[in-house]
A and B are shown apart, each in its own frame.
Chain A
Amino acid sequence: MTNRHVLALALLASFAARANADSIDSAVPTVVATVDAQIRAAWAEHGITPAPAADDARWLRRATIDLTGQLPEPEHIVEFLADKRADKRTREIDRLLASPAYAEHWGTYWDNLLIGRLTREAFIDRTAFQQWLREEFDKNAPWDQMVRDLITAEGYNSNRERPAGYSETPKDFDERFNPAVNWFMRHSRSIPDMAAATSKLFLGVQIQCAQCHDHKTEKWTQKDFKQFTACFAKTFPTYVDRPGMLLKVVGTYRMELKDRWFTPPYEKYETLFGSYKDYVNETPKMLNGPAAPSFGSRRVALANWVTAKDNPWFAKAIVNRLWGKLLGCGFVEPVDDFRPGNPPLLPATLDALADDFADHAYDLQHLLRVICSTGAYGRACVDLQRSAKEETYWGSFPLKALDVEELFDAICTATDTDDRLDRLSKGHFDMVRNAFITQLVSQMGTDDMAEVIEQEGTIPRSLLLLNGTLVCGSARLVPNEGLGTVLSRASDDVAAIEQLYLRTVSRRPTEVELKKWRAFLAKSREVAHTAGPPASTPTGLSALGVSPEIAHASEGADFTELLKHAKTGADFTALRKLVKNNADGALFVKAFQAFAAEAPFQHLAATGGGNTTREQAFEDIYWALLNCTEFLTNH
């Protein structure tokens, strides 16, 4: 069972309790009618013929991916299609919002935005932060409270215990453990970044340009930037363990973050605190707002101002961000760039949504329920054939590329590969998944902080889907998994094709498609057996042993050199013990991730496989379903 499964089970208990309580409020929120009327008026005014309503199967796939990052399960699709109740979509939204995958999905989304996919920092306890986010989303913590907790967080970044003999653990270690501080730790060596991220993520206001120059057309000046950044100038971390830099333990530095009465010794410890220098003598001040009081925490004052009901941006920023994420573009675009020179589309609608969100105590699930209940969200995905510059006012649903996490999960669940990877990695599916995603992101050479989406233009990505081990391996016939299960249970070819469709594109095939597939299956073909590309990691028995260079390594052997020889899981287990410091640790993690992103998938790609014309033809259909635009996008 994977860690995610364990978490899922734990969350499932609370989910079941909620569902049984029958307290689900299945009514459509009232603000939806207002929003719908305003958007319909915009369509009429601009001569837009909106797309027809999306059918049930397509709507279900869309909402499931948007709210949980997962594909709907085939059995559930069938049930949902058969459900005759008028309010079934409203019920479905509630079901999805209450599901464990909801917390997982939104936790990942915010983790990527707040810390970044490729960020690896000894100051950050990534696991603790992810867990914290998941729990916040699971209990549906109000957005203002979550933002306040992030901005004002104090305490220890990690609750990891040191091995005996290294250093003492403070007495208040457990009470003062606060994973939310990891966000500050992400930027602790550059507080201007902290200020810029706060403003951008929570207010949708971009002030960072003013770090270097007064903005030519917009209002923020360098002075504004400095004063805003000064809100963080008396907050800084210290090492829990001393002497910090010499600790011969890999992993996370235990740090304590605190608001203090003084600024950090930025001259003495320039590497750590150099970024504070330009801000320590500024008066801390909000954007367009009051100065922070001279006494008390500057960050508390900042959080009060950010989350105040009369803050001009706070509610709108998150409404716009989520509307943009679900409907393809926000009222303001880019979603985090609110400024006078970039006015929103349909400002009254944005206001209505923001007011409703604030009136509902910043309830994120309520906001998502509203967005998913609108008429705009229910449009079919059809290109309205207008020029790129012309607004369509959400007259049709956009075609949205899946995020890398969504893509990986979709391929795995559509083919039962998640279970196989979990067995292959002896229960470390999470690690394999992270490794694969990290490799994918770095192979695409993309920016780590941004949401990495399918980029139509990347060749490495399409080669990965066309020939890569994940897709080609997942589509192979193995008994009792994926295609094996489908073929053994289906009464005939049509039933099998229907199952493959439900697993991947979450709908039944049309008559036209079935006709084409019958012809495809009827074509005569040779059974293909080729060796394929050689595996880069050892297979068979040699995969179990320790490579000689590592087994016979001398006492003082250079770690970097040894790492070059690591090819098997046993090699990495042996090498882990030789890690002497954090630099070694970082290299180890990198090498190990590369291994974990490779070895299990090479195994998949070499195992099983169809032996008859029919079996191979079905593998090809599966492969095509995993490669088609309909599968790779949300629409």
Chain B
Amino acid sequence: MNDEVQMTKPCLGPVARRTFLTGGLGGLLSLCIPRWQAMAAVADAKRRGKSCILLWMNGGPSHLDTFDPKPGTATGGPFEAISTSAPGVKICEHLPLLAEQARHLAIIRSMTSKEGNHDRGQYLMHTGYAPSGTLKHPSLGSWVSHELGDPNFELPNFVSIRGPSISSGFLGVQHNPFTVQDPNQGVRNLPLAKDVDRSRFSARREALAILQDGFRAETHAAAVANHDAVYDKSVRLMQSSLVKAFNIKDEPRAVQQAYGDSDFGRGCLMARRLIETGVRFVEVTLDGWDTHIDNFTKTTYLMHDLDPAFAALIRDLEERHMLDDTLIVWMGEFGRTPKISPADGRDHYPNAWATVLAGGGVRGGQAFGSTDAEGARVASHPVTVPDYFATIARLLGMDPKHEEISPVGRPIAISDGGKPIAALIG
């Protein structure tokens, strides 16, 4: 758009670039991956470090009806528990495909926190800190983008699918989540508008340059150059071959079907494609867990979407030799009350609840910690939010104690003084 702005050339980093040039994006993304190429991808992933997929269960999923079942008790509800590929570990009957993959799962049944309000809980579980008005803490995805992401990567390093996430706080807008509202549509507004072909788009940019040059001459404002720079970046994205990663329709039908016929499933498939292309952190939201009323019907439907998607994601990553370098985190903002309300619902419950980690070097095939017979209190190995964030940071190869200085001058660490839990790390 203008010559004054020094635009850095798109750069994928030496290794990733070579892969894309030699293998080609299509080849790399298809199901039948030549072995040498798959191996090259593994080598790349190793060298470039780890990535993370956060499966965000918005609203707060019931631990008792998912990963910490208590069948036959007063609080257990109507669901049965089934055995899994992890010896001795049982989960809800509505997660049969995930049960097959349980050898990869580390189910944490002893999460405990204090925030029983959605806003506050969502903030806490995204950032690792309770909200405090002055300071906007960066969310986990922003930390990953900041610590592990390549600043010159053509795609954003933090993508959030199906829902707003929490912002990058003081780490800066470049680490903000790039939101894809609808996985069926992919990135919004990438194609040229009706009646605008390439040559007309160039004419439009020429017209824009006339105005930008005039305004720059008048104000000497840096904002004009910044505006031009982000427009250049956007146009580069429009023209980048990497945006194909957002097109889940390019996947073989069988792969699409494996993830289930749901937007959440399609989001998970998109997440896998993005991670494969080099995006560092993808968050996929499954909304609807705030089941104050009619908990069991709603949870059944939600698990119907969750089960194939989560299971296919693990299997797919494993087949592509990417599971060891991709940490999957399953969580919501809190658990739900053991007591079943007269409306057949469960309310917010932060005292004792469950999350799941998989891949990324997690020691799978275990249930860590436990709750009492009613699922009301943590009975063993309580896991605090700082410890949980420290564990995730360590798994991703980040130092949990790493600090950045916030605008108020206070250093903020990735984990708020927590310690990684050794038993969860493989």
Binding site for B on A (CB under 8 A): 118, 189-190, 193, 196-197, 200, 206, 208-209, 211-212, 245-246, 270-271, 274-275, 334, 337, 381-383, 385, 399, 401, 439, 441-447, 450, 455-460, 462-464, 466-469, 472-473, 476, 510, 512-513, 516-517, 520, 523, 525-526, 528-533, 536, 558, 560-561, 564, 581-583, 586-587, 590, 594, 605-606, 609-610, 616-617, 620-621, 623-625, 627-630, 632-633, 635
Contact between B210 and A558 (Cβ–Cβ < 8 Å)? no
Contact between B179 and A445 (Cβ–Cβ < 8 Å)? yes
B47 interface contact, C-beta 8 A: no
Q: How far is the CB of A484 from chain B (nearest CB, A)?
A: 16
Contact between A445 and B189 (Cβ–Cβ < 8 Å)? no
Take A245-B292, A399-B223, A530-B192 as given contacts and tell me if A275 and B160 are in contact as well, using a CB distance cutoff of 8 Å: no
For B293, give its contact among A444, A520, A581 (CB under 8 Å).
Answer: A581
Contact between B298 and A446 (Cβ–Cβ < 8 Å)? no
> When chains A and B are docked, how far (Å) is the Cα of A468 from the Cα of B212?
20
Contact between B222 and A383 (Cβ–Cβ < 8 Å)? yes
Report A-chain residues with C-beta under 8 Å of the C-beta of B134.
Answer: 206, 208-209, 334, 337
Supply 15 A–B pairs (Cβ within 8 Å), ascending by A. Answer: A211-B132, A212-B130, A334-B407, A337-B408, A382-B218, A383-B219, A456-B229, A463-B234, A463-B238, A510-B214, A520-B203, A564-B263, A583-B288, A583-B292, A629-B221
Contact between A628 and B212 (Cβ–Cβ < 8 Å)? yes
> When chains A and B are docked, how far (Å) is the Cα of A533 from the Cα of B187?
12
> When chains A and B are docked, how far (Å) is the Cα of A531 from the Cα of B194?
5
Take A271-B348, A463-B238, A526-B199 as given contacts and tell me if A516 and B223 are in contact as well, using a CB distance cutoff of 8 Å: no
Which residues of chain B (129-186) have a CB below 8 Å from chain A? 130-136, 156, 160, 163-167, 172-174, 176-179, 181-182, 184-185
> When chains A and B are docked, how far (Å) is the Cα of A528 from the Cα of B178?
32
> When chains A and B are docked, how far (Å) is the Cα of A628 from the Cα of B408?
34
> When chains A and B are docked, how far (Å) is the Cα of A198 from the Cα of B188?
39
Report B-chain residues with C-beta under 8 Å of the C-beta of A385.
Answer: 220
B291 interface contact, C-beta 8 A: yes
B258 interface contact, C-beta 8 A: no
> When chains A and B are docked, how far (Å) is the Cα of A633 from the Cα of B166?
26
> When chains A and B are docked, how far (Å) is the Cα of A101 from the Cα of B208?
30
B403 interface contact, C-beta 8 A: no
Q: How far is the CB of B203 from chain A (nearest CB, A)?
A: 6
Report B-chain residues with C-beta under 8 Å of the C-beta of A444.
Answer: 176, 179
B251 interface contact, C-beta 8 A: no
Residue in A246, A446, A564 with the greatest tally of chain B CB atoms within 10 Å: A446
Q: How far is the CB of B255 from chain A (nearest CB, A)?
A: 21
Give the number of chain B interface residues (Cβ < 8 Å).
Answer: 86
B3 interface contact, C-beta 8 A: no
> When chains A and B are docked, how far (Å) is the Cα of A274 from the Cα of B187?
41
Contact between B194 and A212 (Cβ–Cβ < 8 Å)? no
> When chains A and B are docked, how far (Å) is the Cα of A337 from the Cα of B189?
39
B404 interface contact, C-beta 8 A: no
B254 interface contact, C-beta 8 A: no
> When chains A and B are docked, how far (Å) is the Cα of A439 from the Cα of B182?
12
Report A-chain residues with C-beta under 8 Å of the C-beta of B230.
Answer: 456-459, 462
> When chains A and B are docked, how far (Å) is the Cα of A248 from the Cα of B368?
40
> When chains A and B are docked, how far (Å) is the Cα of A61 from the Cα of B167?
32
Which residues of chain B (187-210) have a CB below 8 Å from chain A? 187-197, 199-200, 203-204, 206-208, 210
Q: Interface residues of A: mostly helix, strand, loop or mixed?
A: helix
Q: How far is the CB of A67 from chain B (nearest CB, A)?
A: 22
Take A190-B117, A456-B230 as given contacts and tell me if A399 and B204 are in contact as well, using a CB distance cutoff of 8 Å: no
Q: How far is the CB of B194 from chain A (nearest CB, A)?
A: 3
Q: How far is the CB of B406 from chain A (nearest CB, A)?
A: 11
Contact between A459 and B204 (Cβ–Cβ < 8 Å)? no
Residue in B130, B176, B193, B292 with the greatest tally of chain A CB atoms within 10 Å: B193
Report B-chain residues with C-beta under 8 Å of the C-beta of A466.
Answer: 189, 231, 234-235, 238
Report A-chain residues with C-beta under 8 Å of the C-beta of B172.
Answer: 457
Contact between A624 and B237 (Cβ–Cβ < 8 Å)? no
Q: Knowing that A385-B220, A460-B179, A467-B189 are A-B contacts, what are 15 other residue pairs whose CB atoms are under 8 Å apart, sorted by A's residue number?
A: A208-B133, A209-B132, A383-B219, A442-B179, A445-B176, A445-B178, A459-B230, A459-B237, A463-B188, A467-B238, A526-B199, A583-B292, A583-B293, A609-B195, A628-B212
Q: How far is the CB of A411 from chain B (nearest CB, A)?
A: 14
Report A-chain residues with C-beta under 8 Å of the C-beta of B71.
Answer: none
Residue in A530, A587, A605, A609 with the greatest tally of chain B CB atoms within 10 Å: A530
> When chains A and B are docked, how far (Å) is the Cα of A462 from the Cα of B226?
12
B347 interface contact, C-beta 8 A: yes
Report A-chain residues with C-beta under 8 Å of the C-beta of B156.
Answer: 459
Report A-chain residues with C-beta under 8 Å of the C-beta of B291.
Answer: 583
B401 interface contact, C-beta 8 A: no
Contact between B191 and A462 (Cβ–Cβ < 8 Å)? no
> When chains A and B are docked, how far (Å) is the Cα of A468 from the Cα of B191?
9
Chain A's closest residue to B200 (CB) is A528
B30 interface contact, C-beta 8 A: no
> When chains A and B are docked, how far (Å) is the Cα of A632 from the Cα of B288?
37
Contact between A447 and B166 (Cβ–Cβ < 8 Å)? yes
Contact between B297 and A558 (Cβ–Cβ < 8 Å)? yes
Contact between A605 and B193 (Cβ–Cβ < 8 Å)? yes
B120 interface contact, C-beta 8 A: yes
For B227, give its contact among A208, A443, A629 (CB under 8 Å).
Answer: A629
